[in-house]
Structure formats: structure tokens, C-alpha cells
């Protein structure tokens, strides 16, 4: 049996989602390293991209269920997966344009839920799983990560206060490079596997792979490369938001934030919670900012992000539902969805070119500074 | 609907302990290693160079072991 058109379309769409996942989430690992100058922007995204690819190969335990039991998987067909992916991609692109670090995982879950509701009815969605496995951890995990990062930041500053600041700064720079690398690795393992799971499931439903088969090497390679390439191209808009707009981050804070992120993600994925790397990393950065100076944190930015987080699941679900409805109308509908999605994607990219954020200008914004604080960075004293 | 409060609590405790311990160990390690080569215009180090090296190396090795365990969790 040959591979039908829809299977090819789903594979390409899944890799496209993986790509947006990569550049949307570069900031999680590297925003603070870039902001503090621990790593040069281009070097940071290169390290992160490579470690994402490595991470894709590290674990062979592929998520058995792409939706973590959120929807009745017997109702899933390639058209639903396609529609769900479209919803996730478009939401990822829109939040990237706005520079908002929203969860790629929630976008994927939302897209799938919307598509399933249209195709199989609301009964196919397990709402109690949605609350206990997704929504509750989504509320708790950023707060937990923030508290951990706050305590870590206080410890880092208190314990090194009496030491030579030149050597401690160098030490924390190295520590930050290590902790950021761990975040990248964990991200590659968890998020690249989601795409592998999607592609493998489609290949199984198409009869190309035997049921319960693991992902072929080319799927692992393709998923790893897609997320790695996306990471390397760097979502500079989101990197700027997390690295510069939240708070003026220094190396001990960056180190404490990334250590907190890694710990929360590893502990929770070990116990089966599908946490959003993005939300954990964002919570950590706010906590680390508050740990040094509560007034130096832009809580208004936190409000914007919270709104984006709440909207992510329903917004992706709506797009997924519309796409599922259109795609279920046959080949013409599927093609129409693909064409519209590509057009919107190009439109968002074009809109981003009007105010480009690149490796060169990512740090060129004023960090929030409390009114009474005197900055002596770069020898320039500002009131 | 069953919410796994036990697992959530465990995640909170384990990640809090791991992250705070690693951050503290690396901070102490940095303080220790900073005592090795005090600069003339820098502050007086809290430890002698030898003690600083010993404390710094021990702290960083233990932190590295915890990180390796984290890697092991990813792979396994």
C-alpha cells in the first residue's frame, strides 16, 4: 500500500509544527544567556539547536499517546491530526509575532481538541484529563518554578556577596552555559518526541508501519532536524521579551532560573505530567527577577503572558475546529486549509519584517529599571 | 475526576530540593574557587587558597553528579 496524499501532507505539516515549536521555544533555554552576554546570540542558538537534535535521539521511549489521553484516540484520523497541527502552527506564529512565550504543547493539544470536537463530538474529549493533566499543572508549574528560582537567586547572591565579583561573575557565566544546555537537551527530548509520535501514528494508521511500531530512524532524524533548525533560526522576538522585557537579568539570576526550569521539567516529566517548557521557563525568569529586586520586574508583561496562556488552548482549538470542518469536506477542503494556512503564515512573516528582531538587535532595548536605581552598566550612568 | 495531588506534591518537593541544592553548591563552588586567586584590589577572600580549592572542587563535583543524574533521567 502506497503512502496516500494526506499522509504526506500530515508529515510535512507535523515537521512544520516542529519547526515553529523550535523557534518559538529557543527563548526558554537561551533568553537569559543571551541577555546577560554569557553567550553570543548566534552561538547560543547554535548550541541550543544542536542539543535539541541530540535530545531527539537521546530517548527511545516515544510518547505512546500523542494527546496524553486528552481525546479518544480511536476517533483520531489523519485529517484530524492535520487540522489540529494547523491550529497549533497558526497560534504559534501569531504569538511569535507578538513576542509572547506561549506553550507550543498547549497549542498542539488545543488544535487536536478542536479538531476532534468537530469530527467526533465533544464526547470524544476527556475533559477531566484536560483539567488534571494540563490545566492544573499549567497553573501550578510556573508558580513553582518561580518560587524555586527566587530562592535560588537569593542564595546565589547572598552566598557570593563577599567574594570577588569578577570571579563570581565568570563562574556564573559558565554555570549559565551548562544550565541553559540542560534546558535545551530536555526540550529536544520532550518536544521532538511529540512530532515523532504524530508522524509515527499517521504511518501506523496508513498501514505503512505495524501497530505499536517505534518511529523509524528517518522520522527521528527529520523531527530532530526540524526542531533543531527552528531553534537555530531563533525566535528573537520571544528571546527579547524573556531576556530583556521581564527584568534586567544578571548571570546568577539566569543560572538560578535555568536550574529551576530543568529541575521542574525533569521531575514532572519523570512522573508523567505534560508540562509546558515555556511556562516553566517563564515562571523561573520572573522568580529570578523578583529574587534580586521585586520592583525591577515588569509585572505588566506577566499579565500579557497570562492572557496569552489562557487563550492558547481555546484559540488553537477554534482554528483546529475550523480546519477540521473544512478538511472533512474532501480533497478540495484539505487543499484549501493548507493554502489558507500557508497564506496566513506568509502574512505573519511579512508583518514581522516591518519590525524585525534579529541576533544583532535582540538586546537593544531598555531593560526595565526601577526609578530610583542608578545603572552603571557599560560605564554609562543613567538616572 | 482524580487529581494526583500526591504526584504534584512530589514534583514540587523534588524539583525544589534539587534546584536549590544545585544552585547553592555551584554558588559555594564559585566562592571557593574565587578564593584561589584573590586580586590585589578585590575583597579579602573568606577562605585560604587551599581550603577554597577543596571546598570549590567538592561542591562543583557534587553539583555535576546531580546534573549527571538529571541527564540519566532524560535518557532512561
Put simply, the answer to whether A163 touches B46 (Cβ < 8 Å) is yes
Listed in sequence order, the residues at least 6 apart from A377 whose beta carbon sits closer than 8 Å to its beta carbon are none
Nearest chain B residue (CA) to A133: B3
Closest CA to A264 of A182, A106, A144, A135: A144
For B76, counting Cβ atoms within 10 Å of its Cβ (0-12 exposed, 13-18 middle, 19+ buried), the class is exposed
Residue of A140, A264, A266 with shortest CB distance to B73: A266
Mean pLDDT, rounded, for A169-174: 89
Hey, which of A59-68, A267-276, A298-307, B20-29 has the most confident mean pLDDT?
Answer: B20-29
| Chain A contact for B10 (CB, 8 A cutoff) | yes
**Grid cell digits, residue A211:** 501497530
From chain B, the residues in CB contact with A140 under 8 A are 8, 12
Beta bridge partners of A375: A382
Mean pLDDT, rounded, for A93-108: 89
Residue A379 has pLDDT above 50, yes or no: no
Q: What is the ipTM of this complex?
A: 0.89
Contact A127, A269 (CB under 8 A): no
Residue of A140, A163, A175 with shortest CB distance to B45: A163
Give the integer Cα–Cα distance in Å for A112 and A135: 16
> pTM of this prediction?
0.86
Q: Secondary structure of chain A: what % helix, strand, coil (to 5)?
A: 75, 0, 25
| Chain B contact for A128 (CB, 8 A cutoff) | yes
| Chain B contact for A136 (CB, 8 A cutoff) | yes
| Chain A contact for B48 (CB, 8 A cutoff) | no
Residue A383 has pLDDT above 60, yes or no: no
Query: What pLDDT does residue B71 have?
Result: 83
Q: Is A367 a member of any domain?
A: no
Contact A100, A238 (CB under 8 A): yes
Between residues A358 and B23, which one has the greater pLDDT?
B23
* pLDDT averaged over every residue in chain A: 85
Lowest mean pLDDT, pick from A205-209, A257-261, A320-324? A205-209
* Residue A373 banded pLDDT, cuts 50, 70, 90: very low
> What's phi and psi for A292, nearest 5 deg?
-95, -40
* Residue A376 banded pLDDT, cuts 50, 70, 90: very low
Query: What pLDDT does residue B1 have?
Result: 58
Q: Is A375 a member of any domain?
A: no
Contact B12, B31 (CB under 8 A): no
Closest CA to B15 of B68, B66, B75: B66
Q: Is A368 a member of any domain?
A: no
Nearest chain B residue (CA) to A182: B71
Residue A311 has pLDDT above 70, yes or no: yes
Nearest chain B residue (CA) to A178: B67
| Chain A contact for B39 (CB, 8 A cutoff) | yes
Closest CA to A98 of A376, A351, A300, A359: A351
| Chain B contact for A259 (CB, 8 A cutoff) | yes
CA A251 to chain B, closest CA, distance in angstroms equals 12
Give residue-wise pLDDT tens across range A4-60. Answer: 888 888 999 999 999 999 988 888 889 989 998 889 999 999 999 999 899 888 875
Give the integer Cα–Cα distance in Å for A369 and A249: 11
Q: Is A249 a member of any domain?
A: yes
Q: Rounded to whole angstroms, what are the CA distances from A275 to A25, A150, B9?
A: 13, 20, 15
CB atoms within 10 A of CB A147: 18
Interface test with A, best of B5, B19, B21 (most A CBs within 10 A): B19
Q: Rounded to whole angstroms, what are the CA distances from A188 to A182, A221, B75?
A: 10, 12, 12
Measured CA angle at A33 (ends A255, B15), to 5 deg: 35
Total CB pairs under 8 A between chain A and B:
137
**b/e code A159-197 from CB counts within 10 Å (16+ = b):** bbeebbeebbbbbbbebbbbbbbbbbbbbbbbbbbbbbb
**Domain range enclosing A161:** 5-362
Q: Is A382 a member of any domain?
A: no
Mean pLDDT, rounded, for A370-375: 45
Domain count, chain A: 1
Q: Is A195 a member of any domain?
A: yes
Give residue-wise pLDDT tens across range A88-98. Answer: 999 999 999 98
CA B51 to chain A, closest CA, distance in angstroms equals 14
Q: Is A225 a member of any domain?
A: yes
Residue B22 has pLDDT above 90, yes or no: yes
Query: What pLDDT does residue A372 have?
Result: 45
Residue of A136, A168, A178 with shortest CB distance to B3: A136
Lowest mean pLDDT, pick from A229-238, A243-252, A262-271, B40-49? B40-49
Q: What string of H, E and C letters represents the secondary structure of A47-81?
A: HHHHHHHHHHHHCCCCCCCCCCCCECHHHCCHHHH
From chain B, the residues in CB contact with A132 under 8 A are 1-4
Q: Is A351 a member of any domain?
A: yes
Closest CA to A89 of A53, A119, A56, A115: A115
Give the integer Cα–Cα distance in Å for A257 and A173: 13
Amino acid at each position: 500500500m502506497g503512502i496516500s496524499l494526506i499522509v504526506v501532507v500530515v508529515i510535512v505539516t507535523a515537521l512544520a509544527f516542529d519547526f515553529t515549536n523550535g523557534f518559538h521555544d529557543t527563548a526558554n533555554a537561551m533568553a537569559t544567556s543571551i541577555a546577560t552576554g554569557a553567550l553570543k546570540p548566534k552561538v547560543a542558538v547554535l548550541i541550543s539547536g544542536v542539543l535539541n537534535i541530540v535530545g531527539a535521539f537521546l530517548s527511545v521511549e516515544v510518547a505512546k499517546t500523542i494527546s496524553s489521553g486528552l481525546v479518544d484516540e480511536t476517533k483520531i484520523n489523519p485529517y484530524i491530526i492535520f487540522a489540529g497541527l494547523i491550529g497549533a502552527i497558526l497560534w504559534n506564529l501569531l504569538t511569535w509575532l507578538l513576542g509572547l512565550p506561549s506553550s507550543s504543547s498547549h497549542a498542539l493539544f488545543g488544535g487536536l481538541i478542536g479538531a476532534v470536537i468537530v469530527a467526533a463530538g465533544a464526547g470524544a474529549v476527556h475533559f477531566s484529563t484536560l483539567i488534571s493533566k494540563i490545566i492544573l499543572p499549567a497553573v501550578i508549574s510556573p508558580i513553582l518554578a518561580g518560587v524555586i528560582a527566587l530562592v535560588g537567586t537569593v542564595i546565589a547572591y547572598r552566598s557570593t556577596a563577599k567574594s570577588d565579583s569578577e570571579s563570581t561573575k565568570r563562574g556564573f557565566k559558565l554555570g549559565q552555559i551548562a544550565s541553559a544546555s540542560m534546558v535545551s537537551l530536555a526540550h529536544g527530548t520532550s518536544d521532538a518526541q511529540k512530532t515523532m509520535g504524530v508522524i509515527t501514528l499517521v504511518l501506523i494508521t496508513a498501514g505503512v508501519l505495524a501497530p505499536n511500531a517505534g518511529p523509524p530512524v528517518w522520522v527521528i532524524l527529520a523531527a530532530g532536524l526540524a526542531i533543531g533548525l527552528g531553534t537555530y533560526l531563533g525566535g528573537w522576538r520571544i528571546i527579547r521579551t524573556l531576556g530583556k522585557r521581564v527584568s534586567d537579568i544578571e548571570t546568577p539570576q539566569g543560572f538560578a532560573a535555568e536550574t529551576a526550569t530543568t529541575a521542574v521539567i525533569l521531575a514532572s516529566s519523570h512522573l508523567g505530567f505534560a508540562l509546558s517548557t515555556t511556562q516553566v521557563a517563564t515562571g523561573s525568569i520572573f522568580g529570578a527577577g523578583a529574587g534580586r529586586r521585586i520592583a525591577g520586574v515588569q509585572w505588566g508583561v506577566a499579565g500579557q503572558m497570562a492572557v496569552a496562556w489562557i487563550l492558547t488552548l481555546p484559540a488553537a482549538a477554534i482554528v483546529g475546529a475550523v480546519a477540521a470542518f473544512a478538511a472533512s469536506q474532501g480533497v478540495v477542503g484539505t487543499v484549501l486549509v493548507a493554502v489558507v494556512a500557508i497564506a496566513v503564515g506568509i502574512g505573519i512573516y511579512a508583518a514581522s519584517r516591518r519590525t524585525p528582531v534579529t541576533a544583532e538587535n535582540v538586546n537593544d532595548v531598555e531593560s526595565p529599571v526601577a526609578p530610583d536605581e542608578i545603572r552603571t552598566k557599560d560605564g554609562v550612568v543613567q538616572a | 475526576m482524580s487529581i494526583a495531588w500526591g504526584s504534584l506534591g512530589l514534583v514540587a518537593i523534588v524539583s525544589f530540593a534539587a534546584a536549590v541544592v544545585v544552585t547553592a553548591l555551584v554558588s559555594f563552588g564559585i566562592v571557593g574557587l574565587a578564593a584561589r586567586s584573590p586580586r590585589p584590589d578585590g575583597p579579602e577572600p573568606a577562605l585560604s587558597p587551599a581550603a577554597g580549592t577543596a571546598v570549590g572542587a567538592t561542591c562543583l563535583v557534587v553539583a555535576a553528579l546531580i546534573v549527571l543524574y538529571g541527564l540519566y533521567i532524560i535518557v532512561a
